[in-house]
């Protein structure tokens, strides 16, 4: 089963609206990361939130983390057509000198101009 | 800085052929990893390395070999290609593995 599972799997919104994507996971984590992937490209790291943090901001991005519910959300405010992409969460667990990074299956966001 | 460079971008192989996917980074990152991305499966870790001379298996290592003779390079070898290895392959690097990864642009591999 997937460690990080994004919800919804697809989201279509109008430009200017806010987009919210959720990620649920099953085990303990040290941090959780969000990535963006434009069609046919590699993943780009957006933001990292540590297990002892509850909220983090970066520009138009806001990430929350609830370790009691094992869930995170990514909010993109005032969306733009250029935000059209797939978004992935990745959980990181440090164990025995190894950082286990597990990606979810992603949310495909379409922002309509 | 070029970041993470992957070659080739596209490749078609016949079943049973072997090939090497190249990955190089110029950020002096210790941690490098290979993922494959399949529809509906997210990214799955194939092999990773925490430094030159050190490699280990990820979630789906069968049919792949890696080596890490230098900090910069982390090639992925397909020993005998199978149709099940048709996928998009991504190489990534990071300072210590637990912080944000820098990804290459990917290699789209088709095995016929």
**Predicted local distance difference test score (pLDDT) of residue B96:** 77
Give the residue from chain A lying closest to B100, CA to CA: A45
Task: Report residue B83: phi and psi, to 5°.
Answer: -55, -30
Per-residue pLDDT tens listing for chain A (113 residues) = 345 677 788 999 999 999 999 999 998 999 999 999 999 899 999 999 999 999 999 999 999 999 999 999 999 999 999 999 999 999 998 877 677 888 998 999 999 99
Mutation target among A96, A99, A104 for the B interface, most CBs of B within 10 A = A99
Q: Is B8 helix (H, G, I), strand (E, B) or coil?
A: coil
Closest partner residue to B97 (CB to CB) among A42, A101, A106 is A101
Angle ∠(B48,A39,A93) on CA atoms, nearest 5: 30
Please tell me the distance in Å from B109's CA to the nearest CA on chain A. Answer: 13
Chain B positions in Cβ-Cβ contact with residue A48 (cut-off 8 Å): 99-100
> Residues B67-105: pLDDT tens digits?
999 999 999 999 999 999 999 999 999 987 778 899 999
- CA B10: distance to chain centroid? 14
Classify A68 in phi/psi space as left (phi over 0), alpha (psi -120 to 50) or beta: alpha
Cα-based distances in Å from A18 to A77, A109, B8, B16? 4, 11, 38, 49
Q: How far apart are CA A105 and CA A22, in angstroms?
A: 12
Cα-based distances in Å from B78 to A69, A106, B35, B36, B46? 40, 27, 13, 13, 11
- Helix, strand, coil percentages in chain A from 3-state DSSP, rounded to 5: 5, 60, 35
**Predicted local distance difference test score (pLDDT) of residue B99:** 80
Q: What is the mean pLDDT of residues B45-49?
A: 94
């Amino acid at each position: 089963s997937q460690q990080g599972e994004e919800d919804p799997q697809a989201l279509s919104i109008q430009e200017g609206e806010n987009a919210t994507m959720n990620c649920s996971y099953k085990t303990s984590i040290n941090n959780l990361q969000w990535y963006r992937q434009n069609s046919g490209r590699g993943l780009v790291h957006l933001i990292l939130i540590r297990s002892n943090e509850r909220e983090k901001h970066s520009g138009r991005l806001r990430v929350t983390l609830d370790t009691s519910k094992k869930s995170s959300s990514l909010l993109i405010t005032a969306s733009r057509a250029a935000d059209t992409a797939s978004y992935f969460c990745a959980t990181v667990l440090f164990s025995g000198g190894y950082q286990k990074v597990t990606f979810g299956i992603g949310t495909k966001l379409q922002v309509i101009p | 800085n070029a970041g993470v460079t992957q070659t080739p971008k596209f490749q078609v192989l016949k079943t049973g052929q072997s090939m090497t996917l190249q990955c190089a980074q110029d950020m002096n990152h210790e941690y490098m990893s290979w993922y494959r991305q399949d529809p509906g499966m997210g990214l799955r870790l194939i092999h990773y390395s925490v430094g030159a001379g050190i490699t280990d298996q990820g979630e789906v290592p069968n049919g792949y070999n890696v080596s890490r003779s230098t900090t910069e390079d982390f090639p992925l070898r397909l020993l005998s290609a199978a149709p099940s290895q048709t996928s998009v392959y991504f190489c990534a690097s990071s300072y210590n593995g637990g912080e944000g990864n820098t990804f290459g642009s990917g290699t789209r591999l088709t095995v016929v």
